[in-house]
Amino acid sequence: MAPRNTAAKAKSTSEPERLSDASEREPSTTITKRKRSSTINATPQRDAKRSRAPKNLKEETDDDEERKSKKQDDGDEEEDIELDEGQEVVGKVVKAPTTGLVPPGQISRNTLNFLNKLKDPECNDRQWFKLHEPVYRVAEKEWKDFIEAFTDVLIEVDPEIPPLPPKDVIHRIYRDMRFSNDKTPYKKGLSASFSRSGRKGIFAHLKPGNESIIAAGSWCPGRNELATIRANIQHNPRRLRDIISSPDFERYFGKAEVHPKGERQNIFGAEDELKTAPKGVAKDHEDIDLLKCRSFAVVHRFTDSEVLDPDFKNKIGMVAQVMQPFVHCLNDMMTVTADEDDTHDSNSGVEGDAAGDDDEEQGEENPREAEEAEDDDDDA
């Protein structure tokens, strides 16, 4: 009879301690609703000897420590997900993918699939993103590795591009919603910008649905910059025209002429050009097509199959090589002011000082929304 009393005493002392420990370990912020596991039966058999009771207690202690360690590990995983004070996320954390991975410098289908889900308003949500953060971290690491590899290619194309680390050129995926009616918290793509400090450069944007792009130039520059560009066009448009009408440039960006249906083509686009001549410029000016532009930017799109190609970084590098003369020309036109006297002498169609006048439609809002990945930057 003595062994049973000892075992009963052991049960009465060990189980309350275990319940107390469990209550102390229960986190205030839960990620997953878990069912409590059944209590380990520490009661020995009726005919067990007294000497076996300590052994059973030791086994129970080991099991309890193992459960405590396992729950602590679960808690460590939960701590990786940051929540606001008092916020509770109920759901299952999605683990990072273990299949479909690619070597550094390539883009995987996993990354495109994750970005594609962000197009769904139900997924472009903080709670959903928290539960899928392990998946995002893999996609983010993949994008950083790709940008690092692409930077090496880009520097060979344009030595003026500084060899910056990925963290200095990659844009955040979090949107700035302070001045936007669109309150979705995350962009639907990954992006990066490459340029010399304070100058125009190249912009890369990864977005599923055949919407990945590489772009270069300036989208809707400020009044002074735009006036300087137009003054230089009036002074000497030949350099810019030769670049945008070259066979390689037209192969990637389209004919150097206004599209008949108003679609964006080359540097021209009906959505960001004046309906008439800028103030002070004759409507029949020989370079009126260039002078009506309010943006000087080009865009080349890639299909998803091209993005997934192991050689994608070199293909995008080929486009960047064609962009390079355009970028350098635009930087020169934005920083060097044309001689006003030469401007008037060489362009009989100019009426007054175009570099200092406002556009007739200066107050109009550009109807085209910038790419989502350009929330932090006005320039392509």
Q: Is the pLDDT of residue 108 over 80?
A: yes
Whole-number pLDDT of residue 337: 72
Whole-number pLDDT of residue 21: 46
Q: Is the pLDDT of residue 326 over 90?
A: yes
Instruction: Tell me how far apart the alpha carbons of residues 253 and 236 are, in angstroms, rounded to a whole number.
Output: 23
Helix or strand holding residue 67 (H, E): helix 52-79
Helix or strand holding residue 333 (H, E): helix 312-335
Instruction: Tell me how far apart the alpha carbons of residues 343 and 257 are, in angstroms, rounded to a whole number.
Output: 24
Q: Is the pLDDT of residue 229 over 60?
A: yes
Distances (CA, A) of 90 to 32, 34, 78, 281, 301: 5, 10, 12, 63, 39
- The SS3 assignment for 216 reads strand
Pair 355, 230: CB distance under 8 Å? yes
- The SS3 assignment for 225 reads helix
Pair 200, 193: CB distance under 8 Å? no
**Predicted confidence (pLDDT) per residue in 267-301, tens digit:** 999 888 999 999 999 999 999 999 999 999 999 99
Whole-number pLDDT of residue 233: 96
According to DSSP, residue 359 is labeled P
Name the pLDDT band for 18 (thresholds 50, 70, 90): very low
Whole-number pLDDT of residue 191: 97
Among residues 363, 335, 358, 302, the alpha carbon closest in space to that of 150 is found at 302
Amino acid at the residue 115? L
Percentage of the residues of the chain whose pLDDT score is greater than 70: 64
Pair 330, 217: CB distance under 8 Å? yes
Instruction: Tell me how far apart the alpha carbons of residues 294 and 267 are, in angstroms, rounded to a whole number.
Output: 10
Whole-number pLDDT of residue 66: 58
Residue 348 token pair: 């009989």
For Cα atoms 110, 111, 115, give the angle at the middle one, nearest 5 degrees: 120
Whole-number pLDDT of residue 89: 58
Averaged over 188-197, what is the pLDDT? 91
Regarding pTM above 0.85, the answer is: no
Count of other CB atoms within 10 angstroms of residue 153? 17
Instruction: Tell me how far apart the alpha carbons of residues 19 and 17 are, in angstroms, rounded to a whole number.
Output: 5
Domain positions in the chain are 143-374
Among residues 194, 191, 105, 192, the alpha carbon closest in space to that of 158 is found at 194
- The set of residues, in sequence order, having a beta carbon less than 8 Å from that of 229 and lying 6+ positions away, is 221, 296, 330, 333, 334
**Predicted confidence (pLDDT) per residue in 163-192, tens digit:** 999 999 999 999 999 999 999 999 999 999
Pair 40, 19: CB distance under 8 Å? no
Amino acid at the residue 69? S
Instruction: Tell me how far apart the alpha carbons of residues 66 and 346 are, in angstroms, rounded to a whole number.
Output: 86
Whole-number pLDDT of residue 335: 83
**Tokens 């003369």, located at residue:** 325
Residue 287 token pair: 């370079």
Contacts from 122-126 at CB under 8 Å and sequence distance 24+? 124/184, 124/185, 124/186, 124/188, 125/185, 126/185
Whole-number pLDDT of residue 85: 72
**Tokens 């460590």, located at residue:** 76
